[in-house]
Chains A and B, each alone.
Chain A
């Protein structure tokens, strides 16, 4: 997977660019930074509404359009704005949020979030060597894109020098996007407003890898008057050698995926690849959530770990709810006291509850012998998670209470008692 990522991010299809150590470093940094970014940034795709990154990026949309054309240098300030537009394009393909996309080529959200937010990462983490690396990549991409654009040389003159350099800069960021454009059957995208940023799409076209028939055919009609590079794009339609999705026709709202070098260009396998990459992205996120899974490589083992962890968390909830059911609350429960638990480490805190809870106040209502019998077995149980011994407790409890019980009346009681109205 990582090898493919390296290939995909910085590959020019018709250039003879040999692999150099820099792509791995950049891609590795991208991948690491994606995870770091996801955690450090508050706009976590899981916990934001999903559109917070979009909202924050869309603020830069206006800036990006204006500043795009002005800069020549590979300074870091215009560069992030350039890539921000890539990011906007990348993240904007999702179904429910059609408005703020600048590009119609709709790439899967997660990989593009990595590429699109690369500039954010560069800025926020202050990695000067990162921007140096990317800047040094850009001239290479620019040169190679110059080579393979035979039909483009004439139209290159039509564009400003700035745009080309911007495109060169943007090529690095956009090439991960360029690699992932394909109509995916389960990716039902609503019609996204065609890109409002003319300069941005010019730059997208210029990057050597990003020649897409579909996008251009869509964008040509609404944008011909705005875009100076429209004839350029017309010329580029001829250069569709490796675009596997060109056979799909000129359809809108598709995710355009390009076949990588040496990969099968069947549309099914492309869809498969996109799906697999999505799944592996999610697995990586899960790997960070579940403790102790850093070294696991393998889907099956990872899934086992995830299952164990979810089961143990659910059992902890059950144990704590049993405990709370038996304890009498104080009259004045201060919510601030509960919410401001700053010092308590979850391990030690809940471990204390486990150690002392059953043995002290609440246990006199249960069979004391049962609990004290289970406590030694708890200590001998080896478990990774702090409260896994609850499995023993749970079994005991269920054994205690299931004799002659049916839990259904109890549950029905709950509904009729109206304890759990969802308007809590």
Chain B
């Protein structure tokens, strides 16, 4: 896969390489912690480890992108403020929708694709506060990054399994 954009002139600092580095570091940390813990193989621990790895993957991808895209900012925001209670989260999403109504030309339900747009907003991180135009742009970028993520993680799994 071609390296995508580089922030610096260094050709090795692509999104993919940054993500790989960050993710591998997180993986090694998680594994070290898992090895030291005694009950490593109960289902509960396995599930916890799975969640950790999943969040590590998302966060390392968002960090590789930085603050350039709204979805990466949303992921980092979510991680930094993971202690919010549910009520506050709902309040935030309500405010986000109001903001979207204000700034984006949101059309009402009759627009073809309103329902799908809502589903898409839930899928793409940070999609609540976006109008359709921005949402589509963010979705495109997000899809590209997800593809990178899948490829790199697949490769890592291969390397680890051999």
Contact = CB atoms under 8 A, between A and B. Distances in A.
Interface string A405-422: 101001111110101101
Given A300-B112, A300-B116, A422-B80, A310 B105 contact: no
B50 A321 contact: yes
Contact of B47 (A46, A344, A361, A410): A410
Interface in A370-424: 397, 400-401, 405, 407, 410-415, 417, 419-420, 422-424
Contact of A324 (B62, B136, B160): B160
Contacts of A275: 105, 133
B108 interface: no
Interface residues of B, number: 81
Interface residues of A, number: 79
Contacts of B28: 329, 333
Interface string B47-75: 11111111111111011000010000000
A339 B26 contact: no
B150 A326 contact: no
A49 B66 CA distance: 11
Interface stretch (A83-91, A165-173, A285-293): A285-293
A172 to B, nearest CB: 27
A129 interface: no
Contacts of A328: 31, 160
A286 B146 CA distance: 14
A317 B105 contact: no
Interface stretch (A236-244, A258-266, A346-354): A346-354
Nearest to B156: A338
Contact of A325 (B53, B112, B140): B53
Given A48-B5, A311-B123, A328-B31, A349 B154 contact: yes
Contacts of A279: 132-133, 136
A159 B153 CA distance: 63
B150 A346 contact: yes
A355 B154 CA distance: 13
Contacts of A420: 26, 52, 55-56, 59, 79
Contact of A46 (B79, B141, B151): B141
A418 to B, nearest CB: 9
Nearest to A45: B137
B110 interface: no
B97 interface: no
Nearest to A309: B143
A317 B75 CA distance: 15
Interface of A: 44, 46-49, 52, 185-186, 271-272, 275, 278-279, 282-283, 285-286, 289-290, 299-300, 303-304, 306-307, 309-311, 313-314, 316-318, 320-330, 333-335, 337-339, 341, 344, 346, 349-350, 352-353, 357, 360-361, 365-366, 397, 400-401, 405, 407, 410-415, 417, 419-420, 422-424
19 contacts: A49-B68, A271-B105, A275-B105, A282-B140, A286-B140, A299-B112, A303-B116, A307-B119, A307-B120, A311-B123, A313-B147, A316-B150, A324-B53, A325-B52, A329-B27, A333-B24, A353-B161, A414-B55, A424-B22
